[in-house]
Amino acid sequence: MTGKPIPTPAEPFEGRQHSDLDRADRFVIPLLLVSAFVVILNETIMGVALPELNRDLGISVSTGQWLTSAFMLVMAVVIPVTGYLLQRFHVRQVFITAMALFSLGTLLCFLASGFPALLAGRIVQAGGTAIMMPLLMTTVLNLVPADRRGRTMGNISIVISVAPAIGPTLSGLILDVLDWRWLFGLVLPIAIGGLVLGALFIRNVTEPSAAGVDLPSVLVSACAFGGLVYGFSGLGQKTEAATVIPPGAAIAVGAVALMLFVWRQLLLQRHDRALLDLRVFRSTQFSISIGLVLISFLALFGTLILLPVYMQYVLGHDTLVTGLTMLPGGLAMGLLAPVVGRLYDRIGPRPLVIPGAALVSAVLWSMTLFGTGTPVGGVVAAHVLMSLGLGLMLTPLLTGALGSLEPSLYSHGSAVVGTIQQVAGAAGTASFVAIMSAVSANRIAGGMDEITAQADGITTAFTMGATISLPALAATFLVRGTTTKTKNVTTS
């Protein structure tokens, strides 16, 4: 490629203020943020729509569940490959591919006349969604100066937190007045608009390498992360798929495949040919931060799955009240994220991460006191406070983790973050539900009424989460600020 050099994030922008970016760069980051928001929003709209979809398409509940399960599986398989894609191809090429896949998948879903076509559309959508977040993070790391990176990563945290929070609520509102196909029809013009704008304005900010892809690594990666996500997602569920491939067997296969994957990457990275370069874990701060991110997502997704169950089956509220109960927490996390990003740029991660982890732990312990008579206001307050605690943690942890890497490892670090998010989300959901189900069944067998038994199971699951939060809180004292490395990249 030819063109002028672009300073990397850690390199001073000589001759201009750090607050100045090229006009094109100032446009690219918001475009990527909006595009990422749309694709992640789409990931969470299906839960509320599944009952209507099942009735309209004449399919069983377990069959309809594949619309979300297949989406998660494709995400788990594709995300580890994005590290290679972002090294091998230009940012512009990867963005166009991601948004083209997402737009095509959305169109297929909108036009779907039956379950097979709808499932195919969801699978194509997932391919584009999986690429978008690592692409966004890698682009930000290559464009934004280190002293402004926190506020930009704060905006990414808005995408991560607000999109899942409003997805179910928005889905419910659309389904009140329109057919389920409009869940995709209303998103389609936004996706196409993002694709066109990206094709016109996104420029290349990295220097691709000519390395080939290691196909055995791709296959083993698919077995590893796909097996783990499928297995964790299926624990405690009595579905048709679980009788064909038992979740426990899938987890075992995934664990063995993961060990093989790690072994092969350690061999390949000696020659810079790894599909997912594990040298990112040589950074102590990256390893500590990613461990804390994993625990954070375990708590987040576990809570998100249990609170609606608690609201509906224990407290007896309908889906509308349940959806509105969950909305303030996501919005609070989104509103806090830019503030946390600016504070990170000024004071670093520790003054934010430590109180955030303490708040999350305190809220989880308070949730162990939930019972059959807990007021809705108490549930909303707990969820909001927990969201604020996670908001104090996620932006500093993600920014510090990725900022501690060599620029050549940014894409691999972003892929690791995305993979951890998927696996932790599945594991958190499965572990919380499995504990709730086991304890509830045991209490019912002992003669306890069903509602009280359900409440007992939920609080026991929260006790597990609260217990895990204590070593996580201790680990936050090991978090340090990072000094980023530099290299020159060019644009065409």
Is residue 4 over pLDDT 70?
no
DSSP H or E segment with residue 489: strand 489-490
**Per-residue model confidence as pLDDT tens digits over 214-230:** 788 888 988 888 888 88
Among 265, 276, 274, 231, which residue's Cα sits nearest to residue 418? 276
Please give the average per-residue pLDDT across 387-409, as a whole number. Answer: 86
The one-character DSSP state at 194 is H
Is residue 86 over pLDDT 50?
yes
Other residues' Cβ atoms within 10 Å of the Cβ of residue 274: 21
Rounded to 5 degrees, what are φ and ψ at 6? -110, 130
Cα 38 versus chain centre, distance: 13
* Beta-bridge partners for 489: 6
Q: Assign 445 a pLDDT band (cuts: 50, 70, 90).
A: confident
Q: Find where tokens 């809180």 sit.
A: 473
In order, the DSSP letters of 293-331 are: HHHHHHHHHHHHHHHHHIIIIIS---HHHHHHHHHHHHH
CA distance 312 to 317: 5
Q: Assign 174 a pLDDT band (cuts: 50, 70, 90).
A: confident
CA distance 300 to 319: 20
Is residue 142 over pLDDT 80?
no
In order, the DSSP letters of 95-146 are: HHHHHHHHHHHHHHHHH--SHHHHHHHHHHHHHHHHHHHHHHHHHHHHHS-G
Q: Which range in 139-143, 375-379, 395-399, 412-416 is most confidently predicted, on average pLDDT?
A: 375-379
Contact 30, 152 (CB under 8 A): no
113: Cβ contacts below 8 Å, ≥ 6 apart: none
Contact 9, 142 (CB under 8 A): yes
Contact 394, 157 (CB under 8 A): yes
**Per-residue model confidence as pLDDT tens digits over 29-71:** 888 888 888 887 877 777 667 777 878 888 876 677 778 778 8
One-letter amino acid at 374 equals: T
Is residue 25 over pLDDT 70?
no
Q: Find where tokens 């608009």 sit.
A: 193
Burial tier of 55 (Cβ tally within 10 Å: 0-12, 13-18, 19+): exposed
Rounded to 5 degrees, what are φ and ψ at 58? 65, 40
241: Cβ contacts below 8 Å, ≥ 6 apart: 62, 66, 69, 234
Please give the average per-residue pLDDT across 445-454, as a whole number. Answer: 86
398: Cβ contacts below 8 Å, ≥ 6 apart: 137, 153, 156, 157, 289, 293, 417
Tokens representing 489 are 């990249």
Dihedral angle, C-alpha 48, 52, 245, 429, nearest 10 °:
10
Is residue 10 over pLDDT 70?
no
Other residues' Cβ atoms within 10 Å of the Cβ of residue 50: 17
Q: Assign 109 a pLDDT band (cuts: 50, 70, 90).
A: very high
Contact 394, 155 (CB under 8 A): no
Mean of the per-residue pLDDT values of the chain: 80
pLDDT reported for residue 485: 47
pLDDT reported for residue 236: 57
Q: Assign 351 a pLDDT band (cuts: 50, 70, 90).
A: very high
- Among 139-153, 376-390, 408-422, the range scoring the smallest mean pLDDT is 139-153
Among 384, 379, 335, which residue's Cα sits nearest to residue 359? 384
CA distance 211 to 201: 27
CA distance 417 to 398: 8
**Per-residue model confidence as pLDDT tens digits over 359-378:** 999 999 999 999 888 898 99
pTM value is: 0.74
Under DSSP, is residue 6 helix (H, G, I), strand (E, B) or coil?
A: strand
Residue ranges of alpha helices (H) inside 144-283 are 149-177, 182-185, 188-201, 215-234, 240-244, 247-268
The one-character DSSP state at 312 is I
- Among 26-30, 93-97, 393-397, 473-477, the range scoring the smallest mean pLDDT is 26-30
**Per-residue model confidence as pLDDT tens digits over 228-279:** 888 877 765 555 555 567 878 888 998 999 999 999 989 888 887 888 888 8
Cα 10 versus chain centre, distance: 26
CA distance 118 to 180: 11
Under DSSP, is residue 66 helix (H, G, I), strand (E, B) or coil?
A: helix
Please give the average per-residue pLDDT across 338-365, as a whole number. Answer: 90
* Beta-bridge partners for 5: 490
In order, the DSSP letters of 322-388 are: HHHHHHHHHHHHHHHHHHHHHHHHHH-SHHHHHHHHHHHHHHHHHHTT--TT--HHHHHHHHHHHHH
Q: Assign 189 a pLDDT band (cuts: 50, 70, 90).
A: very high
Q: Which range in 96-100, 395-399, 433-437 is most confidently predicted, on average pLDDT?
A: 96-100
